Each structure stands twice: as structure tokens, then as C-alpha cells.
């Protein structure tokens, strides 16, 4: 079997005619290959209730000491902190968070006379965003900051998705909040600028945007800081793409991943080969697959994201995921992929195991 080739925007497995028998036999081989699940390098310790979404904090002085932060989604919920071998660090785990769904990481937030890295999660039962400094996981703004103020009805304040955007040009930090239910008039997502005065955090609403089909819900949100785009999963429909910079407007740039999903579109993450290229991975929850699309789009259109391949993993009904192409010590020389699994764990994969002979790895 030869290595894959890009033909009409899709990666083939390069099966050689004659060497692998008849076309029907070749198809069987392709199917067998596609069903060969990738195995994780590590599986985290179990949480108490229900894993949902992970994030990765990159340690700037020693990447091998980076951390994985994951949500335990329950009324008696928590943010669990794991090392890269999946061992829970009890001294850093934050408990008594009322149903945290998603978590994301920000770097270099000015806080008084210092800068901090931070984790932010949405506390669904209070409609509040909770902020924690990294790596010590100390709460920055005690009891959180409420969002969706003024929205009519509790059903439109049911906070779920959270993503952080850091504009590399003006250095501003933003957080994008999603919810379980919302209007179909293009105002489903709310974007806030994170501000700090005398070391105290506040949120300034800068825009409401985002189409919604009304089909199911929107939870998974991801931001590509370098390219400046927000992506989110309109479950059962596809992935929608917008500018991350609110000054560039609210035009929908793309709707892709509309075919080939079993049921729900879920977690979105990026493997970045450089500042411009790489892959977008989207969870096909019920099928235990991750669909892979070109981060940079096509040669003619940066907003054309055609399917490259599908990766079967050992996760069960995976929701949130995160990817990093940073070398994270001897276990993960080309980065890692971490995904929630419906057995109270997160599974941690070597990127090269996910890539196989089809995708590239960052050197």
C-alpha cells in the first residue's frame, strides 16, 4: 500500500491495483483500514460525574509540564487538571462549579501590574463565566461574571459553549459565549471583550452574531487566533465560520461539514502546521469519528473546507476535543490530541498516531 494522495480534495489510501486484488477487494481493504481505531497513549483518571470538554495549557518554560484542563459536567461539577500522562492533580482541581460545560485557555491577559494565563469555563446553572489563573488555578474574579444580561427567558440564558480569542494585532482578549437555546435571527452567540481595571475583571459586550438552524443546539465553539476565524457546530447541520474580529462584521463566511455525519456535529479543534496551514478536526459524536478539513481552505478559496479524511478513535460518543502541534516532551514530539469519552475520562493521543500516513505532522 502506498501513502495517501490528494485527489479532488480527498485523501485516498493509495491502494495499488493488482497488489490488492479486485476493486471489490480493494473497497473491503479501505473499509477495514477505516475501521482500525486509533488507540490513545494515555487515558485520564475518571472524574466524578460526566466529562465534556478539554483544553490544553502549554507551559512556556517546560512544555513537557503542560496541563490538560477538563470539565466535569454536573450540578456538583468541577474543572479537573491532569498532567500529560492523564493523572489528576488534586491540588489544582476546582470543585463546586455548577455544571461547567466547556473550557478554554487564554494567554497573556493584563491583570493589574502583571500578565496571567487563564482558563475560563461557563457555569451553566448560573449563566456565569468563571476565570482561573494558570497554572495555579486560583479564581481571578470570585463567583464569576454573569452573561446574557437582559435576554428574555431563562431558556435563552442556558450557558454552554465558551471560546477565547486573542487578537494578535490590538492585543485585546475576548470570550465568545454560546447557549443551549437561542434565536434564529443571527444573534445566537455573544462576544465580550475581557477588560481589567485595578486587577479586577469585567466583560464588555461587543457584538451578537451567528446563524442558528433551530435544529438542535450550538455548544462547540473554537477560535483560530492566527487566521482570525470563529467556528461553531450547528448540531445536525454543519460547521459555521465567521470573523473573530468584531470590527470585520457578522457575515457568515462558510457553512461546511454538512454531509457524512451520523447525527451530531460536536467538538472542534485545530492542528496547526504553521500560522497559516493545518487541519480542522470535528467530532462525529455517535460514530466515534473525527472528520478532518484543511484549515487554510482551498488554493482558490480560504473558506472552502473539503473533507480530507475521517479518523476513527477509541473514544465513546466524544463531545469536546483539543489539539496542539507544540512538541510536549518525549511522549508527544509532534503534539497531541485529547478528546472526551463517555466513560468519565479524556483520551490522550499522539498526533502521529492520529495522522498515520495521511496527514502531516509539525516538525
CATH of the domain at 335: 2.120.10.30
Look at residue 4 in the predicted model and tell me its pLDDT: 43
> Is 296 within a domain?
yes
Predicted pLDDT of residue 152 = 76
Q: What is the mean pLDDT of each run of 10 residues along the chain (363 residues)?
A: 37 33 36 70 98 97 98 97 98 97 96 94 96 98 94 85 96 95 93 91 97 93 98 95 97 97 92 98 92 97 97 91 97 98 97 96 91
Contact 160, 217 (CB under 8 A): yes
Q: In this structure, is residue 207 part of a structural domain?
A: yes
Residue 91 is part of which domain span? 37-355
Residue 311, in any domain of the structure? yes
Strands 321-324 and 336-341 turn out to be antiparallel
Cα atoms in the Cβ-side hemisphere of radius 13 Å centred on 79: 31
Residue 13 phi/psi, 5-degree rounding, is -90, 0
Query: What's the structural domain count of the chain?
Result: 1
The predicted structure's pLDDT at residue 27: 37
Q: Is residue 323 part of a domain?
A: yes
Note whether residue 2 is domain-resident. Answer: no
Sheet with 254-256, strands from edge to edge, namely 218-224, 229-234, 238-243, 254-256
Cell numbers found for residue 43: 487515558
pLDDT of residue 151: 87
∠224-348-104 over CA atoms, to 5°?
35
pLDDT of residue 317: 85
How many residues make up the chain in this entry? 363
Give residue 35's pLDDT.
61
Q: What is the 3-state secondary structure (H, E, C) of the chain?
A: CCCCEEECCEEECCCCCCCCCCHHHHHHHHHHHHCCCECCCEECCCCCCCEEEEEEECCCCCHHHCEEEEEECCCCEEEEEECCCCCECCCCCEEEECCEEEEEEEEEEEECCEEEEEEEEEECCCCEEEEEEECCCCECCCCCEECCCCCCCHHHCCEEEEEEEECCCCCCEEEEEEECCCCCCCCCEEEEEEEEECCEEEEEEEEEECCCCCCCCEEEEEEECCCCEEEEEECCCEEEEEECCHHHCCCCCEEECCCCCCCCEEEEEEEECCCCCEEEEEEEHHHCEEEEEECCCCCCCCCCCCCCEEEEECCCCCCCEEEECCCCCCCCCCCEEEEEECCCEEEEEEHHHHHCCCCCCCC
User: Please, is 216 exposed, middle or buried when counting C-beta atoms within 10 Å of its C-beta (0-12, 13-18, 19+)?
Assistant: middle
Could you tell me if residue 363 is inside a domain? no
* pLDDT score for 208: 97
What number of other Cβ atoms are within 10 A of residue 312's Cβ?
Answer: 16
Query: Cβ atoms within 10 A of the Cβ of 316, count?
Result: 13
Amino acid at each position: 500500500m502506498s501513502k495517501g494522495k490528494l485527489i479532488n480534495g480527498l485523501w485516498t489510501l493509495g491502494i495499488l491495483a493488482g497488489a490488492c486484488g479486485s476493486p471489490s477487494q480493494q473497497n473491503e481493504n479501505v473499509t477495514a483500514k477505516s475501521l482500525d481505531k486509533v488507540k490513545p497513549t494515555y487515558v485520564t483518571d475518571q472524574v466524578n460525574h460526566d466529562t465534556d470538554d478539554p483544553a490544553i495549557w502549554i507551559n512556556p518554560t517546560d512544555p513537557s509540564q503542560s496541563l490538560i484542563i477538563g470539565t466535569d459536567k454536573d450540578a456538583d461539577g468541577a474543572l479537573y487538571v491532569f498532567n500529560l500522562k492523564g493523572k489528576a492533580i488534586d491540588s489544582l482541581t476546582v470543585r463546586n462549579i455548577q455544571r461547567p460545560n466547556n473550557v478554554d485557555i487564554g494567554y497573556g491577559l493584563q491583570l493589574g501590574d502583571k500578565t496571567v494565563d487563564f482558563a475560563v469555563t461557563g457555569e451553566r446553572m448560573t449563566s456565569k463565566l468563571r476565570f482561573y489563573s494558570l497554572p495555579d488555578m486560583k479564581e481571578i474574579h470570585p463567583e464569576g461574571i454573569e452573561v446574557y444580561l437582559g435576554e428574555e427567558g431563562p431558556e435563552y440564558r442556558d450557558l454552554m459553549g465558551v471560546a477565547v480569542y486573542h487578537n494578535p494585532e490590538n492585543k485585546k482578549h475576548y470570550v465568545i459565549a454560546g447557549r443551549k437555546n437561542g434565536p434564529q435571527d443571527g444573534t445566537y452567540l455573544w462576544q465580550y471583550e475581557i477588560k481589567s481595571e485595578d486587577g479586577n475583571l469585567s466583560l464588555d459586550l461587543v457584538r451578537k452574531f451567528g446563524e442558528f438552524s433551530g435544529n438542535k443546539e450550538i455548544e462547540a465553539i473554537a477560535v483560530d487566533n492566527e487566521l482570525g476565524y470563529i467556528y461553531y457546530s450547528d448540531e445536525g447541520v454543519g460547521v459555521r465560520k465567521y470573523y473573530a474580529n468584531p470590527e470585520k462584521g457578522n457575515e457568515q463566511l462558510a457553512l461546511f461539514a454538512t454531509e457524512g455525519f451520523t447525527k451530531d456535529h460536536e467538538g472542534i479543534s485545530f492542528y496547526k502546521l504553521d500560522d497559516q496551514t493545518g487541519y480542522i478536526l470535528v467530532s462525529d459524536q455517535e460514530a466515534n469519528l473525527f472528520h478532518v478539513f484543511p484549515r487554510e481552505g482551498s488554493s482558490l478559496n480560504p473558506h472552502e473546507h473539503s473533507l480530507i479524511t475521517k479518523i476513527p478513535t477509541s473514544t465513546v460518543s466524544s463531545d469536546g476535543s483539543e489539539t496542539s502541534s507544540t512538541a510536549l516532551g518525549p511522549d508527544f514530539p509532534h503534539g497531541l490530541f485529547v478528546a472526551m469519552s463517555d466513560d468519565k475520562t479524556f483520551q490522550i493521543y499522539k498526533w502521529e498516531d492520529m495522522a498515520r500516513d495521511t496527514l502531516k505532522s509539525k516538525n
